[in-house]
Chains A and B, each alone.
Chain A
C-alpha cells in the first residue's frame, strides 16, 4: 500500500465512495497480474505478511474505533491471537455493530476470512454487504476459489459459494462443475465438494456429462465410494434418464463387472444392493444377483460381501438352486453343526470368515425365521 499517511485522501474517500470502488478495481487488476493467483493481495495484506499495514495506520480507517472482544476478566480457552488477528477482528466488530455495508467493510471481511475462514458471522455479514452494494458476484466466485485451495473442508466457504451460485443462476452451472472438478483432482472424496456438485446439478443443471464423469473417476479409483454415490445420484435423479426403473438393468451389469474386477471392493456390492432398494421382487428374481455371488464364492470362498448379499437374498425369499446350495455347504467346515436352512448356514460361514462382525452374524441368524416369513409375505404383496 502506497497511501500511508495521506490523511486528506482518507477524507476524500470517505466522502466519495465511488472513488473507493475505483481503487478496489485497481487492486483487482493488480491481483489479476499477480503471478501467484492463489494469493490475494487484499488491502494492506500481500503475499508477504510483513508488508501488511496495520489498520490503525490506514487512512481510510482513521474514523473507526476498533471494538475489543468482550472475553471477560478470566476467560477459559483464551486464544493468544496475533496482533494482526486481534486488530482485524476489532475493526470488524466495529463495522459489524455499526452495520456498515460499505466497500471498505467488504475488504475488511476478506481480511478477517483470510485469518479465520471458519468465522460464519463474518461470512454472513459479507453477504449482507454484497447485497447492499449490488456487487459483481463473479468477483466473489474468484474470492472463494482463491480460498478453496486451503479451506476445501470448510462449511462456510461452501455455503457461501452456494449462495453466490444461486444468485448467478443457470449461467453459473458450468463454472461450478469445473470448480468442484478442480477440488477432486487433489481430493476425490471431498464431502463438501460433492454436496455442492449435487446441488448445482439439481438447481442449475448441467447433467449431460455427469455419468461419464462418474465413469472417469471410477476408472481412476474404483474404490472411490463418493464416485459410486454420485453415480447412484445420477441414475436415480437425472431428469433425462427415466429414474431407477429405467436405469437398473444397465447399472446391474456395470456393478457386476466392477465386482468381478475387485470382489474385495465393498462399494459396488452396496451399489448393487441399492439398485433394488424399493423393489424386493426384482432383487430376488434377477438371476444376475445370485450368479455374481456364486461366481465370486467359487474363486474367493471367504468373500464376506458375496456371503452377505446372498444372506440378504435368502432372507427375502430367494430360492437357491442346488449348485448354490452345494457351494455354500462346502464352505462350512466338516466339524461344524449343520444348520436347518441355507440362510442359517450362510450366517454360520460368516461367523467364521468375518470374526470382526461375529456378533452381528449371530444376531442375523437369531432373527432369521420371522425375517424369511416377512420377506415371503412382502413378495406376495407385490
Chain B
C-alpha cells in the first residue's frame, strides 16, 4: 500500500519538532544550473563521496539562482528580494480552510498545522477574521484532553509537542476567549506527569524522552506562568548531558549535534536560568560554522542547508547574541560557569530602568507580579537592548530565504523541493529573528540596512525563546500574570 505522499516527501530531510512524519526517502537534488561552485573540484583520481556530490549539486543550483540575480537590472532585483506577502497569506489562509487527503499523514499534528499557519500569518502582520478565529479556538479546544494537555487531534492522547503548538496557537490568536480556553491547572498536572526520572520529560504517556520534550514542556510552562522548581528540577542536567564534543546539542546523550535540538536545548537552559552551565564558547563556534556558502544554515556538520534551520540555527545565534549583550562579555567569559549570574543581569536591569522606556517598565511590572527569580533573564533576552552585531552573516541568510526558499506563496527547504506550512513558518520565523538582530532595543525598529530587500519586508518581532509574536506574547504574560 502506498501512502499518498506528496507532502511527506517534500519535508523528509527537515527536522521536525513534532511527532514525526511519513516517508523518508532521500531525494537527490536535480541540477538545473551548471555554474561553477565555490568549492574546489576534487583531484581526478579521487572519487567524490555521497556527501560531496549532494553538496556540489545543491551549490550549483543555488549559485545558478544567485548568478541570475546578479545579472538582472536593479529594479528586477528589488522585485526578486521582495517578500510576497499577499501570496503567502493566500497560501496560508487556504491551508487553514482546507487540506487535501495527502495531509492524512499529519493527522496527529493538527495543532502544529494551526501553529505553523497562524504564527506565519501573525509574523506577516495580519490576523484571521472573527469567524476563523472562533473556529480555530473551538477546534483547538477539542484537542484538549480532559486530564490536561493537547493531543494531535480530537480524541488523541495529550502530547507535549502538540501542547506546545496548541498553546502557542492560542496565544498567537490572543484575546480573553482564546487565552481563557487554556486550562492552566490541568496543563500543569500533565507536565508533572510527563516528568521523567532522568530530569527530562516524556513526550506522552509511554513516549520518548528527549530534548524536544524538555523544550516544549518548559516553554509552555513559561508562557503560562506555571514554571516551578518541580518542573525545572534536573532539566539542566539532562540538557547538559546532550551537549556534544562538537559544541552543539543532540536529541539524546551521545547523539550527533543538531540544529533543532540545539535551539531547543539552548532556549530551555535560558528559560530555566542555567544557560551558563553549557559550554557556550564551543556551542557558538559550532553554530556559526553551520552557515553554509549558500547563506542558509545546515542542521548538522556536512549536511545540506535547509530553510527551516534559518530559525533553529539563526534563532539560536540570536539568543547567543542576546546573551552576550546581557553579560556584556566576550568569548572567554563564556567558558566560565560563573560569569553570567542572574543577579548580574538583574543589576543590569536596574540601570536599564534608569534610562527608561515604557517597555522596560512593563517588563518590571510583569516580573514583580510573576515573582520568580528566573524571570529576569527571560525578559532580558526577549526585550532588552542588543548591542552586538549578529555573529553570522545576516544578509546572506536573508538572501537564501528570499531567493532560494521563497516561492509564489509559501517557503521551501531548498530549490527543487516543494513548499509546505512547516518551512513557511520556520523560514519566516528565522527571517523575523535576523531582521531584528541589529536593532538597538526593542522599542525602536531595526535600521534599514538590517533588512534585506525593501524595508516593507520587515516582519513582526518575536519572542525568540517561545517563537511567538512579541505583542501577543506580552498579552499572554499579562493575562497569566497571576499565579494559578
Q: Residue A74 contacts which of B99, B138, B159 (CB distance < 8 angstroms)?
A: B138
**Contact residues in A for B303 (Cβ distance below 8 Å):** 189, 225
What is the CA–CA distance of A232 and B243 in the complex, to the nearest angstrom?
Answer: 13
Q: How far is the CB of B183 from chain A (nearest CB, A)?
A: 17
The answer to the question of A277 belonging to the interface, with a C-beta cut-off of 8 Å to chain B, is yes
* Closest chain A residue to B212, Cβ basis: A155
> What residues of A have a CB within 8 angstroms of the CB of B12 in the complex?
153
The listed residue with most A CB atoms (<10 A of its CB), out of B2, B131, B208, B257, is B208
Q: Does B474 contact A (CB under 8 A)?
A: no
By beta carbon, the residue of chain A nearest B421 is A77
Given contacts A195-B255, A364-B331, contact A117 B389 (CB under 8 A): no
* Chain A hits for B207, CB < 8 A: 120, 124, 159
B450 within 8 A of A: no
Residues of chain B lying within 8 A (CB to CB) of residue A89: 107
Q: Is the CB of B208 within 8 A of A186?
A: no
CB-based closest 7 A-B pairs: A367-B330, A274-B245, A371-B332, A155-B20, A153-B24, A223-B51, A221-B49
> In the bound complex, what is the Cα–Cα distance between A267 and B25 (angstroms)?
24
Tell me if B154 counts as interface (CB < 8 A to partner A).
Answer: yes
A77–B142 alpha-carbon span in the complex (Å): 13
Choice from A79, A155, A225 contacting B256 with Cβ under 8 Å: A225
- Among A164-172, A206-214, A328-336, A354-362, the one that faces the other chain is A354-362
Q: What are 15 A-B residue pairs whose CB atoms fall within 8 Å in the complex?
A: A49-B1, A71-B154, A76-B139, A79-B101, A79-B107, A118-B20, A120-B157, A121-B155, A195-B252, A220-B49, A223-B49, A232-B244, A264-B40, A277-B245, A363-B331
Q: Assess whether A179 is interfacial by the CB under 8 Å rule.
A: no
A79 contacts B99, C-beta separation under 8 Å: yes
The verdict on A156 contacting B19 (CB below 8 Å), with A70-B142, A194-B256 known, is yes
For B332, the chain A residues whose CB sits under 8 A away are 315, 367-368, 370-371, 373-374
B3 within 8 A of A: yes
8 Å CB interface, A118-153 against B:
118-121, 124, 127, 150-153
Encode contact with A along B326-369: 1 for CB under 8 Å, 0 otherwise.
Answer: 00011111011000000000000000000000000000000000
- A360 and B139 in contact, given A76-B97, A116-B108, A118-B105 (Cβ under 8 angstroms): no
B392 proximity list for chain A (CB < 8 A): 356-357, 359-360
**Looking at chain B's contact residues, is the secondary structure mostly helix, strand, loop, or mixed?**
loop
Q: Is B195 an interface residue (CB 8 A)?
A: no
B216-245 interface with A by 8 A CB criterion = 244-245
Q: Which of B22, B135, B247, B333 contacts A76 (CB 8 A)?
A: B135
Query: Which of chain A's residues have a CB closer than 8 A to the CB of B324?
Result: 363
CB of A319 closer than 8 Å to a CB of B:
no
Cβ-defined partner of B138 (8 Å) among A72, A198, A225, A359? A72
Q: Is the CB of A75 within 8 A of B135?
A: yes
Q: Using Cβ atoms and an 8 Å threshold, which residues of chain A touch B65?
A: none
Known A71-B139, A121-B108, A194-B256; contact A150-B391, beta-carbon cutoff 8 A: no
Chain B proximity of A251: nearest CB distance (Å) = 11
Closest to A356 in B: B393
Q: Which residues on B sit within 8 Å (CB–CB) of A194?
A: 255-256
- List A residues at the B interface (Cβ < 8 Å): 39, 45, 47, 49, 67, 69-82, 85, 89, 93, 96, 114-121, 124, 127, 150-159, 162-163, 186-191, 194-195, 198-199, 202, 220-226, 228-229, 232-233, 237, 264-267, 270-271, 273-275, 277, 308, 315, 355-360, 363-364, 366-368, 370-371, 373-374
The answer on a CB contact under 8 Å between A371 and B331 is yes
- B34 at the A interface (CB under 8 A): no
Interface-facing stretch out of B68-76, B110-118, B409-417? B110-118
Q: Which residue of B lies closest to A218 (CB)?
A: B49
- Report B184-208 CB contacts with A as 1/0, cut-off 8 Å: 0000000000000000000111111
- With A277-B245, A370-B332 already in contact, the answer to whether A80 and B21 are too (CB < 8 A) is no
Nearest CB in chain A to that of B108: its residue? A119
With contacts A77-B139, A194-B255, A275-B245 known, what are 19 further pairs, Cβ within 8 A? A77-B96, A79-B104, A79-B106, A79-B110, A118-B152, A119-B152, A120-B152, A152-B25, A153-B12, A155-B19, A187-B24, A202-B254, A267-B302, A274-B244, A315-B332, A356-B396, A357-B393, A367-B330, A367-B331
CB distance from B192 to the nearest CB of A (A): 19
C-alpha spacing A363/B331, complex, angstroms: 7
Which residue of chain B is the closest to A366 with respect to CB atoms?
B330
Most central of B2, B157, B203 by chain A CB within 10 Å: B157
Q: In the bound complex, do residue A78 and residue B98 qualify as a contact, i.e. CB atoms below 8 Å apart?
A: yes
CB <8 Å contact, A82 and B330: no
- Is B288 engaged at the interface, CB distance under 8 Å to the other chain? yes
Partner of A151, one of B22, B95, B245, B247: B22
Q: Which of A116, A154, A356, A364 contacts B24 (CB 8 A)?
A: A154
A45-B1, A357-B291 in contact; A237/B105 too (CB < 8 A)? Answer: no
Q: Contact between B256 and A72 (Cβ–Cβ < 8 Å)?
A: no
Q: Which one of A127, A191, A271, A273 has the greatest number of beta carbons of chain B within 10 Å?
A: A191
Name the B residues within 8 Å of A189 (CB-CB): 300, 303
Q: Chain B residue with minimal CB distance to A300?
A: B40
Q: Which residues in A have their C-beta under 8 angstroms from that of B20?
A: 117-118, 151, 153-157
Q: Are A270 and B245 neighbours in the complex by a CB distance under 8 Å?
A: yes
B103 in the interface (beta carbon within 8 A): yes
- Any chain A CB within 8 A of the CB of B269? no
A71 to B152, CA, bound (A): 12
Residue contact B302 to A265, C-beta cutoff 8 Å: yes
In the bound complex, CA of A363 to CA of B256 (Å): 27
Within 8 A of A (CB), among B1-35: 1-4, 12, 16, 19-26
Chain B nearest Cβ from A352, distance in angstroms: 15
Q: Is the CB of B302 within 8 A of A118?
A: no
Partner of B245, one of A187, A232, A373: A232
CB of B182 closer than 8 Å to a CB of A = no
Q: How far is the CB of A30 from chain B (nearest CB, A)?
A: 16
The 8 Å CB contact of A187, one of B26, B101, B139, is B26
Q: Are A80 and B98 interface neighbours, CB within 8 A? A: yes
Quick one: which of A73, A162, A198 has the most chain B CB within 10 A?
A198
